Structure 1
Amino acid sequence: MLKRIAIMTSGGDCPGMNAAIRSAVRVALHEGMEVWGIYNGYAGMTNDEMEQLTSRSVGDIIQRGGTVLGTARCEEFKTPEGRQKALDNLRRHGIEGVIVIGGDGSLSGAKLLADMGMAVVGLPGTIDNDIWGTDYTIGFDTAVNTVLDAINKLRDTASAHRRVILLEVMGRNSGWIALASGLAGGAEHILIPEMKIDLDDICQQLIQSRDSGKKYSIIVVAEGAGSAAAIGEKIAKETGAETRVSVLGHIQRGGSPSAFDRILASMLAERAVLALSQGLSNIMFGYKTGLIVNVDLGDAISYKKGIDPTMFRLATLLS
């Protein structure tokens, strides 16, 4: 069994990372392992920003968004020399295994570290929900609920002024946030990068809806599908409707994690610690059909997770 492991968060922060950190530390201590925290992601690994953690170190953090370990970009780690420096730092502290929490870029770094001989287990932590091998990533549920709250509020003002309101949400390469929040929020249209957009058709539908007595419309736009401002200008020109645009921005990353994200993060982190204690490496833990599953780390970063077409079809039908 490994005697000393480390945990780090990397890439974009997301609600639930702290819950995972807390779970990993306390489970590891229960298993008789020593736990170190790596600050500021791979930058901290290469710069030797590490310290031992205790149970008290992770007290009062389960309800906090962001990450107490911090996160940062690190160009140095992308080089062979940088990765060797990071590995040397880990070994100098006697660290035998690392838990990496993050998105596809962070997990790609974890794979490189595992290929160098370090025991590594990855956990999917990103609001984008775009990691292959898991139905849900840590942080996604909270982000969707943040967007849903915005949709609920925008409905009030859209109805009062009979406007078309476009809400631009995060999702440069993935439309999961837009799709889930749009479906839950009853959006009239959901624009995502994975689906072809016909603005002329959308404009015609908006005109028909207005002519049939509909007072307002909500359109959720993933940033990767196009600029909500530009789309709003075309809609206003083609339909004559008064349009407004709201860009939600980085507020989607923050906030206290939902109950689902806290539980998911805690369960995934427990399994990661137990896997390391059993000598396993080069895997990622995810959540599939209600079960915690492990997938090959290489597969997780190589395959692309697509949008659920049945969910998109349902959202279109219900609009």
Structure 2
Amino acid sequence: MEKIAVLTGGGDCPGLNAVLRSLVLTLEGAGGPEVVGLCDAYFGLLDDPPRLMPLDGKTVDGLLVEGGTVLGTSNSGDPFRWHDGSDRGDLVLERLRAMGVGGLISIGGDGSTAIAAGLMDRGLPVICVPKTIDNDVHGTDITFGFDSAVHCATEALDRLQTTGESHRRVMVLETMGRDAGWIALASGIAGGADVILLPEVPFSYDRVVAKILEERVRGLSYNLVVVAEGAAEQDQEPLFRDPEHRRLGGVGAVVAQRIQALAGIETRAVLLGHLQRGGSPSPGDRVLATTFGCAAAHCVLEDRWGVLVGMNNNRIHYIALDEVAGKVRTVPLNHSLMQTARSLGICLG
């Protein structure tokens, strides 16, 4: 195989550039195939003419510390369900073959993995590298981007604590997390939250307010509440700020309003939003992303395709794409972090 393609798909996160760097450097050092990047995921390949970026050691120099992705990305370009309603999966294969590309490295979350699995079913050799700040890709214990997002959310809680304490307020922080509450749970523990609301646990305002009032009776002059965007009250659906496109958001503000009305305590809400995706990757994410990139390169060199590179018990492992595609890794109710939160007396809804 003389040439492979690589793309970054879905939402951006810190560490994408670090994967590109280690992938290219490892292949180049081993005399492996040349690497061409697809700009803006499948859009770059399917545009006329295609938008491509050759990648070599010089191109990736300095990318380790840079956030975002030098290739660009998109979370709306599914070739099997293109914007005009057509299926362009076969065109993806045709264009890659015309370029002399023998295989594809897809760096993305659950959606990107599902697309890659579909292309593999049509005959394209594929390797997937899991990325997402949400940490919800099935088949790996952790994804790069998660640690950086937790750092961001924890810093926000540290700042909210001081202003909340100064004004004796309840401070509500809304984090990302559509189906899985990993960011809210980890940052909530790290930031000393009193209440953490997750998509996995339908919550009750009675229990939330009871916890806040309990802490006030105990002498606390402020409260911190962390809400994942996909969290929902019992017997209610998650809140969508854009129902037509199923975009979540706004639950933090609603929770703050209800707490203030029920507890009679001044409450403020902060939507952390895309700050969680931006910025330079944390040292932990730099190491993990670099490790994943090197592992993906070794898969290419060993002709090991149709797998997702993952981390299991602090060791790299490879799992077949058909075992992970379309699955989401949510927070198990018996996970150690859940047990930690309960031991600390944190209200989980």
Displacement of 1:14 in angstroms is: 0.6
- Structure 2 residue aligned with 1:184, among 179, 190, 193? 190
1:125 equivalent to 2:131? Answer yes
- Structure 2: how far apart are the matches of 1:181 and 1:62? 24
1:69 equivalent to 2:71? Answer yes
List alignment gaps of at least 5 residues for structure 2: 233-250
Q: Could you say which residue in structure 2 is the equivalent of 1:40?
A: 40
Displacement of 1:76 in angstroms is: 4.2
Q: Cα deviations across residues 170-222 of structure 1 (Å, max 9, x unaligned)?
A: 11211111011111111101001101211111111211221221111100000
Q: Does the Cα contact within 8 Å between 2:111 and 2:326 map onto a contact in 1?
A: no
- Structure 2 residue aligned with 1:248, among 268, 272, 278? 272
Q: Does the Cα contact within 8 Å between 1:284 and 1:294 map onto a contact in 2?
A: yes
Q: Could you say which residue in structure 1 is the equivalent of 2:248?
A: none
Q: Does the Cα contact within 8 Å between 1:190 and 1:221 map onto a contact in 2?
A: yes
- Structure 1: how far apart are the matches of 2:210 and 2:297? 54
1:86 equivalent to 2:85? Answer no
**Letter of the aligned partner of 1:34 in structure 2?**
E
Q: Does the Cα contact within 8 Å between 1:163 and 1:241 map onto a contact in 2?
A: yes
- Structure 1: how far apart are the matches of 2:164 and 2:221? 8
Q: Cα deviations across residues 107-155 of structure 1 (Å, max 9, x unaligned)?
A: 1111111112111100101101001111111111001101011011111
**Letter of the aligned partner of 1:244 in structure 2?**
R
**Letter of the aligned partner of 1:311 in structure 2?**
L
- Structure 2: how far apart are the matches of 1:151 and 1:84? 47
- Structure 2 residue aligned with 1:314, among 335, 340, 346? 340
Deviating more after overlay: 48-57 vs 140-149: 48-57
Displacement of 1:89 in angstroms is: 1.1
Q: What is the TM-score normalised by the length of structure 1?
A: 0.96
Give % identity. 40
List alignment gaps of at least 5 residues for structure 1: none
- Structure 2: how far apart are the matches of 1:277 and 1:168? 43
**Letter of the aligned partner of 2:191 in structure 1?**
G
The Cα RMSD (Å) is 1.4
- Structure 1 residue aligned with 2:57, among 47, 55, 63? 55
- Structure 1: how far apart are the matches of 2:297 and 2:90? 24
**Letter of the aligned partner of 1:294 in structure 2?**
Y
Q: Does the Cα contact within 8 Å between 2:110 and 2:328 map onto a contact in 1?
A: no
Displacement of 1:313 in angstroms is: 2.6
Q: Could you say which residue in structure 2 is the equivalent of 1:206?
A: 212
1:275 equivalent to 2:275? Answer no
- Report SS of the residue matched to 1:56: coil
- Structure 1: how far apart are the matches of 2:203 and 2:219? 25
**Letter of the aligned partner of 1:40 in structure 2?**
D
Q: Could you say which residue in structure 1 is the equivalent of 2:244?
A: none
Q: Does the Cα contact within 8 Å between 1:187 and 1:217 map onto a contact in 2?
A: yes
Q: Could you say which residue in structure 2 is the equivalent of 1:116?
A: 122
Q: Which structure: greater helix fraction?
A: 1
- Report SS of the residue matched to 1:88: helix
